[in-house]
């Protein structure tokens, strides 16, 4: 049953410096909120250069702030503007604050970065917190290697911000799966703010067309694709070497793969009838739903989709610039939800058997635990509770 939340406003910040993960997670939450509750409006602040290509439901919109990209060494640089990073950050910070002032949200949800990219959300957080607006930090199930995260958050002075500027910290995963704050020396002060939601379940678009008559296929995706060319090459060669493989293979390269590498792969794949290649899709849910199984990197959104659509999957996790995907894949493989290729086995000899066995691999549902995919329900319920509390306080 849909509930009315007339004139309530939710502001979501997504810094988007690498890949599609933050944008896709925030978009999923925004679309779910307006789909369940009439009258609510959601505005997303994002630096993603491809946000305009995605579909949003009515009452969801976005403000595109100048893009910044993370380099392999962990540093940042301006994406589109040929100006100093400090100038780009100053523009972003100004847009974020003025947007928050004009939009006047009833709830502020920050994705992953407690103070935003290079601290760009600090002033906005303080302003909204001072007005009594519920301020929430949303964290994926795994952030990074615990020791690395501890050093990073100490450098960024994130813990004082979590203590002083946030009402709650939502972890988009089950408590028993992984504790993303396990590496911090003192989390007692944050324990009362932690809310474990479960993974964010995904569904196919309402207008998805039947795939009847289409030939069965395995879906291969490196996520955003910026660092996915080696993974795609390995899967390509392994599929050629796999014995008795009778299904098609669909490669989705991702919007951030370098153009030269993208074109080279198109040319290689065009020589084989059973290989299909598209650059990227904003409707990955359809492609996943129609597949027999997946070979993929281990990003948060992809993992949620593997579970949601109950697809047998082989995960080839990224190990740089963060260990997040590796930690998630190992934990999921330990629980029997997926199979994975360890980084020290990144070769065809080890991947070919996994691909050959993928059509017979058991789906995640055979090991799925109760409540594991309750994240979207819990997030939506908690949003309503916080909005009601704010209305009563006002």
Q: How confident is the model at residue 19 (pLDDT cuts 50, 70, 90)?
A: low
Alpha helices by DSSP H, listed for 335-374, are 348-357
Taking the C-alpha atoms of residue 80 and residue 236, their distance in angstroms, rounded to an integer, is 32
Half-sphere exposure of 219 (CA within 13 A, CB side): 28
- Domains annotated for the chain, with CATH where assigned, are 3-201+374-393 (3.40.50.2000), 217-366 (3.40.50.2000)
d(CA 181, CA 139): 10
Bridge partner list, 18 = none
Q: Summarize the confidence of residues 101-129 as an average pLDDT.
A: 96
Query: Who's near 155: CB < 8 A, 6+ residues apart?
Result: none
- Helices vs. strands in the chain: H and E counts, helices first: 13, 17
Instruction: Answer for the pair 116, 145: CB distance below 8 angstroms, yes or no.
Output: no
Between CA 105 and CA 133 the distance in angstroms is 7
Q: Judge residue 91's burial from the number of C-beta atoms within 10 Å of its C-beta, 0-12 exposed, 13-18 middle, 19 or more buried.
A: middle
- Closest CA relative to residue 12, chosen from 33, 25, 26: 26
Cα distance between residue 318 and residue 159, in whole Å: 27
Interatomic CA distance for residues 207 and 230, integer angstroms: 34
The model's pLDDT over 172-217, given as tens digits with 9 standing for 90+, comes to 999 999 999 988 877 777 888 999 999 999 986 554 444 444 689 9
> What are 139-165's pLDDT values in tens digits?
999 999 999 999 999 999 999 999 999
What tens digit of pLDDT does each residue of 241-267 get?
998 788 999 999 988 899 999 999 999
Give the CB-side neighbour count of residue 113, counting CA atoms within 13 A: 19
């Amino acid at each position: 049953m849909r509930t009315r939340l007339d004139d309530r406003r939710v502001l979501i910040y997504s810094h988007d410096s690498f890949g599609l993960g933050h944008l896709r997670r925030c978009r999923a939450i925004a679309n779910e909120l307006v789909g369940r509750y009439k009258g609510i409006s959601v505005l997303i602040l994002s630096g993603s250069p491809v946000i305009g290509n995605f579909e949003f439901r009515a009452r969801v919109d976005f403000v595109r702030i100048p893009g910044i990209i993370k380099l392999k060494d962990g540093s940042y640089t301006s994406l589109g503007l040929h100006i100093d990073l400090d100038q780009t950050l100053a523009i972003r910070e100004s847009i974020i604050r003025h947007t928050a002032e004009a939009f006047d949200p009833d709830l502020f949800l920050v994705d992953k970065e407690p103070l935003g990219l290079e601290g760009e959300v600090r002033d906005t957080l303080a302003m909204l917190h001072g007005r009594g607006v519920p301020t929430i930090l949303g964290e994926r199930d795994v952030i990074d290697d615990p020791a690395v995260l501890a050093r990073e958050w100490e450098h960024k002075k994130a813990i004082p911000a979590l203590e002083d500027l946030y009402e709650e910290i939502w972890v988009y995963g089950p408590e028993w799966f992984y504790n993303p704050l396990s590496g911090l020396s003192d989390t007692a002060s944050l324990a009362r703010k932690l809310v474990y939601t479960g993974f964010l379940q995904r569904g196919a678009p309402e207008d998805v067309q039947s795939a009847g008559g289409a030939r069965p296929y395995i879906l291969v995706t490196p996520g955003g694709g910026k660092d996915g060319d080696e993974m795609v090459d390995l899967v390509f060669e392994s599929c050629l070497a796999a014995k008795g493989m009778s299904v098609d293979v669909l490669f989705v390269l991702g919007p951030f793969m370098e153009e030269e590498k993208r074109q080279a792969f198109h040319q290689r794949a065009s020589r084989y009838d059973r290989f299909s290649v598209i650059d990227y899709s904003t409707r990955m849910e359809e492609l996943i739903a129609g597949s027999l199984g997946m070979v993929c990197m281990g990003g948060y959104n992809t993992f949620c989709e593997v579970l949601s659509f109950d697809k047998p999957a082989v995960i080839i996790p990224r190990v740089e610039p963060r260990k997040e995907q590796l930690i998630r894949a190992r934990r999921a493989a330990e629980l029997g939800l997926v199979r994975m290729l360890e980084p020290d086995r990144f070769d065809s000899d080890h991947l070919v058997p996994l691909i050959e066995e993928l059509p017979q691999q058991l789906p995640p549902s055979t090991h799925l635990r109760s409540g594991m995919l309750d994240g979207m329900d819990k997030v939506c319920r908690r949003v309503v509770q916080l909005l009601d509390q704010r209305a009563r306080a006002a």
